[in-house]
């Protein structure tokens, strides 16, 4: 009888640990996903995110470089710069919110008792933040697309596809079918 109870305790504790790990990973992944630059932008941290707040000067340099690659006119470059600066400014509070959520998720994980209601509130907040980020990115991409010609958009789509493929190769070097020779 003691062996059966011991096994039950072990499996119950393992299930609780797995649940806690899953919730923490889910909250953390959502917080990371919601952070600007987590997926997308130009050059992996481009004009709509990245490794920290983007200065206006850096945004201008990136847009100028991008403009050269797609043969943008000076007027297009100016419009794209304005769009990029606006998007970066709007997304900064979301970056800070994601950072705070990451801290809160670790606090919830480390707490002596599990507060399921707090975990659910944090998850719901992060889903709202992710939705707001997605909407703002979509708006910026649509605004930028309207500035470009169909040929420029085609070049952009091809470049983005190539970048995506390179990222996949880089992120998954353990998969031989994705490596390039």
DSSP-assigned letters across all residues of the chain: -HHHHHHHHHHHHHHHHHHHHHHHHHHHHHHHHHSTTSS-SGGGT-TT--SSPPPHHHHHHHHHHHHHHTT--HHHHHHHHHHHHHHHHHHHHHHHHHHHHHHHHHHHHHSSS--HHHHHHHHHHHHHHHHHHHHHHHHHHHHHHHHS-HHHHHHHHHHHHHHHHHHHHHH-TT-GGG---
Residues 6+ apart with CB under 8 A from 97: 34, 125, 129
Distance of CA 69 to the CA centre of its chain: 25
Supply the pLDDT for residue 160.
83
pLDDT > 90: what percent of the chain? 36
Report d(CA 81, CA 140) in Å as an integer.
11
Q: Of the given ranges (15-19, 113-117, 162-166, 171-175), which has the lowest mean pLDDT?
A: 15-19
Domain boundaries, the chain: 2-172
pLDDT of 151 over the 60 cut: yes
CA-based radius of gyration for the chain: 22
Q: Decide: 49 and 37 in contact? Cβ < 8 Å.
A: yes
Supply the pLDDT for residue 107.
94
Supply the pLDDT for residue 76.
94
Supply the pLDDT for residue 122.
93
Supply the pLDDT for residue 15.
46
Mean pLDDT of the chain: 75
pTM summary value: 0.60
Please choose, from the candidates 86, 94, 69, the residue with its C-alpha nearest in 3D space to the C-alpha of residue 142. 86
* Mean pLDDT confidence for 107-120: 94
Supply the pLDDT for residue 112.
95
Residues 6+ apart with CB under 8 A from 108: 24, 27, 114, 115, 118, 119, 122
Q: Of the given ranges (25-39, 48-62, 115-129), which has the lowest mean pLDDT?
A: 25-39
């Amino acid at each position: 009888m003691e062996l059966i109870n011991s096994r039950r305790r072990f499996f119950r504790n393992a299930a609780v640990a797995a649940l806690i790990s899953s919730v923490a990973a889910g909250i953390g992944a959502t917080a990371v996903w919601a952070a600007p630059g987590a997926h997308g932008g130009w050059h992996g941290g481009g004009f709509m995110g990245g490794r920290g707040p983007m200065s206006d000067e850096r945004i201008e340099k990136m847009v100028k470089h991008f403009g050269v690659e797609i043969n943008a006119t000076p007027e297009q470059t100016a419009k794209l710069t304005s769009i990029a600066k606006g998007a970066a400014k709007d997304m900064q509070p979301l970056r800070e919110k994601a950072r705070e959520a990451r801290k809160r998720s670790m606090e919830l994980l480390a707490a002596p008792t599990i507060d399921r209601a707090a975990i659910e509130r944090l998850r719901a907040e992060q889903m709202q933040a992710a939705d707001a980020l997605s909407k703002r990115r979509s708006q910026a991409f649509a605004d930028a697309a309207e500035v470009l010609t169909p040929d420029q958009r085609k070049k952009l789509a091809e470049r983005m596809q190539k970048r995506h493929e390179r990222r996949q190769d880089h992120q998954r070097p353990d998969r031989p079918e994705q490596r390039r020779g």
